[in-house]
Amino acid sequence: MSLKPVLFVSHIDVVPATEGVSSEWSRPPYGGEIFDNYIYGRGAMDLKFTVIALLEAVDELVKSGWAQPERTLYLAFGHDEEVGGDRGAATMASLLASRGVTLDFVVDEGGPILVDGLPSLLLQIALMGTAEKGFNSIIANVSGKGGHAMAPPTDHSTVPASMSALVWSVDQHPPATHLVPPVTHFMKALAPACPNPVLRFVLSHCENRFLGYLLAKLLARSSANTAAVVRTTVGVTRMNAGTADNVLPDTGAVLFNFRLLPGHSLDYPLQYLQKHLSSLSGKVKLQQAGGQKAREATPVSSPSSEQFNIVARAIYETVHPEQGIVVAPHLMTGASDSRHYLDITANGVYRFFPLFMNLTAGDVSRVHGIDERIKVDDFLQAIKVYFRMIQLACGDRNASSGTNTRQT
């Protein structure tokens, strides 16, 4: 086979769900129950449905008399993605590397299909993640004078006061906004479908320095989700100080978690925090946190490559084309198992899964939430999407995109 292998990634682990009488679920969270044309259960959206849909798609391809594929197809299902993937995807990537395998491209979970579109763009949007933000956590260790709590200082010099001042400064002065790929790729992909001529012009010229600056500022103020794609974000995830009710602590610690934009190095969090320490001279020392390994944002995969077009073509051909759909690159603010395969991948990682999500109906809150579910029809459609995607990826470009997926 002359073509490098392709890898489809998913994971079988899920986050916990409360069972029994204390559960808020309307159906058993681990029952896999079909009710009112929905499949209920933890993993119905994240992410067991893609494991099953991929296996069903391969099964249907074999049953259809699929000819010899032009490349090797790998399916890799991790068991610990929700906690970093170090024992699942990382181990599988190491195994493939030890065998000398170089992948052409990888398809993993990522952007869903927004069935109700976005404001000013009322058609389906398939989001394909072409990059993931980076990750770094920094601990600020704060020291000061302790003492008895019966007479605390009045000059705001206590350790808790210094911690609060640092957190307030960071909260009031977040990292600067920037419009970078793949966010610019996202805007340019949406521009042709935008009915408003002014907005269409602005989106199509988002790489203009002035327009890009304005768009980034607008997105930063619109919502937490849009702000996260135009700046490196920083959030306080832990604060510790004191051990007794009547003693002023002489040490404390604040953990700042950064999600890095493409282009920001691992040094950026330290440089950023240093600017907030001027009024706390000598009281704060910064150090790298342990736990999850720090990493920069992943490389941005090309939205004009043959590999991107394979995934996009499968979507265009199978996802209710009569309703209109746009495939748009986007920046993932979370992480996926795909990052573990970057070192053995030649032509990019494309993060998309055929999950039909209705923002208006509140589907987002069901992911890792109460009453996680997927429509039976949408699950069957996901099989068709993967069926066609695998056909195209493995060289069978002219075959029919139809399947005979059994009905439930």
Q: Mark whether 67 and 173 lie in a shared domain.
A: no
Q: Does residue 122 lie in a domain region?
A: no
Interval 101-133: pLDDT, tens: 999 999 999 999 999 988 878 799 999 999 999
- Which distant-in-sequence residues (6+ apart) come within 8 Å of 147 by Cβ? 153, 247, 248
The one catalytic residue among 13, 33, 80, 116: 13
Same domain, 267 and 305: no
Q: Are residues 22 and 100 in the same domain?
A: yes
On the 0-12 / 13-18 / 19+ scale of CB atoms within 10 A, 231 is: buried
* pLDDT above 90 coverage of the chain, percent: 87
pLDDT the model gives residue 397 = 66
Q: What is the pLDDT of residue 120?
A: 79
> What pLDDT is recorded for position 119?
82
- 255, 321: one domain: no
Dihedral of CA atoms 240, 244, 250, 256 in degrees, nearest 10, equals 0
Q: Catalytic annotation on 13?
A: yes
| Structural domain count, the chain | 2
Q: What percent of the chain has pLDDT over 70?
A: 96
Q: Give the per-residue pLDDT at 396.
A: 72
Q: Provide the b/e sequence for 148-187 (b: ≥16 CB within 10 Å).
A: eeeeeeeeeebbbbbbbbbbebbeeeebebbbbbbbbbbb
**Quick one: which of 385, 225, 256 has its CA closest to 313?**
385
Q: Are residues 273 and 345 both part of a single domain?
A: no
pLDDT tens, 20-59? Answer: 876 899 999 999 999 999 999 999 999 999 999 999 999 9
**In 304-388, which ranges are E strands?**
325-332, 349-357, 373-375
Q: Answer yes or no: do 77 and 147 share one domain.
A: no
Do 282 and 358 have their domain in common? no
For 253, phi then psi, to 5°, come to -145, 145
Confidence (pLDDT) at 323: 76
Are 138 and 284 within one domain?
Answer: yes
**Which two three-digit tokens encode residue 360?**
């208006």
Same domain, 280 and 361: no
Domain ends where: 288, 313, 339?
288
Cα distances (Å, whole numbers) of residue 294 to 48, 120, 266, 291, 336: 28, 38, 7, 9, 14
The string of pLDDT tens digits covering residues 339-369 is 999 999 999 999 999 999 999 999 999 999 9
**Inter-residue contact 4 to 71 (CB < 8 Å):** yes
The enclosing domain of 48 has a CATH number of 3.40.630.10
Picking from 243, 260, 288, the residue at the C-terminal end of a domain is: 288
Catalytic residue among 81, 104, 108, 372: 81
Instruction: Identify the segments of the chain with pLDDT beneath 70.
Output: 1, 22, 281, 397-408
- Quick one: pLDDT at residue 66? 86
- pTM over 0.85? The answer is yes
Looking at residue 260, which CATH number applies to its domain? 3.30.70.360
- pLDDT, position 403: 64
Distance (Å) of CA 113 to CA 100, 119, 262, 350: 35, 15, 24, 14
Let me know if residue 407 belongs to a domain: no
CA-CA distance, 150 to 207, in Å (whole number)? 59
Tokens representing residue 187 in the block: 């805007």
**Predicted pLDDT at 408:** 38
